[in-house]
Amino acid sequence: MESVNEIKEALSARSRTATLDELRSEGRKRVRLIRAEHVAQMISEAVHAAIEHSGLLDQEEVDRLVEKSRQEFKSILREREQELARSRETEEALEAREGELTELKSRFGELTRALASTRAELQQVQSELEVARELPAPVAPPPAPAAAPSSDMLMALVQEMANLKANLMQAQAPQAAPAPGADFSAAIEKLAGSLNDRLETLGKKMGVSAAVGGDAPTDFGSLFDAGESKLESNMDNIQVKQKAGGGIAANLARLKKLKGGG
Amino acid sequence: MTEQDQFDSNIDQGADTTVALGKGLDVGTANLAAAVQNDEGGITVNVERNAFLDIPSDAYSKNMLTKLKVPYVVHNGKLVVIGEAAFELANVFGRETRRPMADGLVSPNEQDALPMMKMIIQKILGEPQVPGENCYFCVPAPSLDVDNNVVYHQGLFESLIGKLGYTARAINEAHAVVFSELADNDFTGIGLSFGGGMANACITYKSIPCLSFSVARGGDWIDKNVANVLGCPRSKATAIKERGIDIRDPKSREEEAVAIYYRSLINYVLSNIKSRFESGQNMPSFKEPIDIACAGGTSMIGGFIEVFREEFAKIDFPIPVGRIFRSEEALTAVAKGCLVAAAIGES
């Protein structure tokens, strides 16, 4: 009975399915049918007859060969099934990758919109700065916030820009691993670079470029100024707490010795 | 006589009236300290608390503060009391002091405190003896446990100190501890600075820093947690901590809270240092056991070094360690280390 099923599977694998309409369209009005059991029986009989007539093998050897053939058949069938499963897994992985790509595209769109918005803000601040610079200089020292952005405003702006940059870099991080996102990562990196350049340009104009990652020395000293010419204070008349400590001659001598100068 | 000779004679003779060049500045979250060599062969350190308190401005208060020699500044129509006096007044009034720095760096929430901080630094540092005199100031190392960036902080103080007429140079806070405390070890070992906002660590080999990092917990973290559990202002918690208690032998519920959080802080710092060492990145190796020098205001509490040793014994430290000690001048050791760096720079 098992051989009949195997024959059925083999026939199924090597035959095609056609509807009656399709057969009719091919010009066939009648078809001959044969049961799988009969095919199996015919094959079995043919094989046994051929072997018997050959006189080369006894019945026991024939049965052994039949069993071996059956095992071979099962093994091939299993392999085909495994190939089919692998193919399905690959298909599912492909679908997952496509989903990720769609998500990345969506995030890319969001980041692009955020970037555009930031650029617009930066341009607005630049314009305001230009306008402020073009105003005639007052004779007397002006109150701090009137003519130029205050320290607080600069700090807030720099902080905001740094945050935006950090967010952008953070968003970029998980996209680097999968192969399909490689191009996208490069695009994000390019955008981040472009944003950096713009921030740097604006920062330099405002004198705070190093705060967003520049290497050039920047003068932050004005942030310590109160905006008033001189603060009223009694600090000059106050003595600060003093502590005496051991000398550093020995430390210096050791250091000089290490440096080869002692 | 060459400039080098003159420098050496100033140090060695001590009694010479000319003071050697170079100044060290500890820009700490809790305290600001400036060190300079004096004409007696020792050093003098000016210390002021890095805090302020604003109170309503009126003529009477101003007169009183002047008579009491309490430093103040009038800023934006308010009377701003500065330094230790602000801390004391805050405790009297049950208020919190305002702090220009948090977690070892300039506080983003107190930008208008910078002018006050400038006045304190100007006061403790004084004028440069010659234009462009070296002033080494300390900066924290990047933290293991929080995402921070010292570039902005460092840039701010370089600019400020430069404006005061000095040549400003930054040095890692724990590296300064090594310069101050590990001369007998040829500046090889581990320097630890327990400050108000952070704990900094630096491993050096013959004065060269091999590895430095920080964790963003310090005395302020203890104050915050003690204040939370006791339901009092942080300034009060600080006062409890600084009134001379011994964390091995707490005498009250308040002291018990301080002791618990101190032990927790020490354990946290040691665990982080250990895991950093074990991570194996840029790890130096030493043939002989190295010493650990602790410094910083937070390490000044009674029983600190004993508890440190107890907690150290509990962990399997990956580097052989010899002596563990606390600086005899824990509060001023960082400023002193900065001064050593500045003086050697001048020579």
How much is the ipTM here? 0.81
Name the average pLDDT for chain A. 72
From CA B135, how far away is CA B122, in angstroms rounded?
12
Residue that wins the pLDDT comparison between B203 and A50: B203
Q: Which CATH number fits domain B3-50+99-346: 3.30.420.40, 2.70.98.10, 3.40.50.300, 3.60.70.12?
A: 3.30.420.40
Question: Are A149 and A129 a contacting pair, CB within 8 Å?
Answer: yes
- For A32-50, the pLDDT digits (tens) are 888 878 888 888 788 778 8
Q: Specify the higher pLDDT residue, B341 or A49.
A: B341
Residue reference for tokens 């140079």? B169
**Least Cα separation, residue A216 to chain B (angstroms):** 10
User: Nearest CA to A127 among A205, A194, A197?
Assistant: A205
CA distance A177 to A156: 34
Quote the minimal CA–CA distance from B2 to chain A in Å. 15
pLDDT at B2: 35
Closest chain A residue to B34, measured at CA: A242
- pLDDT classification of A74: cutoffs 50, 70, 90: confident
**Arithmetic mean of pLDDT, B263-282:** 87
| Chain B nearest CA to A256, separation (Å) | 8
Contact assessment for residue B92 and residue B240, using Cβ atoms and an 8 Å cutoff? no
A216/B contact by beta carbon, under 8 A: no
Task: Write down the pLDDT at residue A217.
Answer: 54
Residue A202 pLDDT greater than 70, yes or no: no
For the four alpha carbons of A253, A255, A258 and A260, in that order, the dihedral sign comes to negative
The confidence score (pLDDT) of residue A142 equals: 38
Instruction: Kindly give, in sequence order, each residue whose CB lies less than 8 Å from that of residue B122, ignoring residues fewer than 6 positions away.
Output: A235, B164
**pLDDT at residue B261 greater than cutoff 60:** yes
* CA dihedral sign, ordered B158, B33, B141, B284: positive
**Inter-chain CB proximity A244 and B43 less than 8 Å:** yes
Highest mean pLDDT among B5-9, B39-43, B310-314: B310-314
Indicate yes or no: pTM above 0.80: no
Task: Calculate mean pLDDT across residues A121-141.
Answer: 69
Residue B121 has pLDDT above 70, yes or no: yes
pLDDT of residue B249: 93
CA-CA-CA-CA torsion sign (A156, A158, A159, A163):
positive
Map out the domains of chain B as residue ranges. Answer: 3-50+99-346
State the average pLDDT over residues B208-229.
93
Are B48 and A226 within 8 A, CB to CB? no
- Do A238 and B69 count as a contact with CB atoms less than 8 A apart? yes
The pair of three-digit structure tokens given for residue A61, joined into one six-digit string = 């050897």
Nearest one of B199, B215, B202, B220 to B145, comparing CA atoms: B215
Q: What phi and psi, each to the nearest 5 degrees, are found at residue B18?
A: -80, 130
Q: Does A220 touch chain B (CB under 8 A)?
A: yes
The pLDDT assigned to A204 comes to 44
Cβ distance of A242 and B339 shorter than 8 Å: no
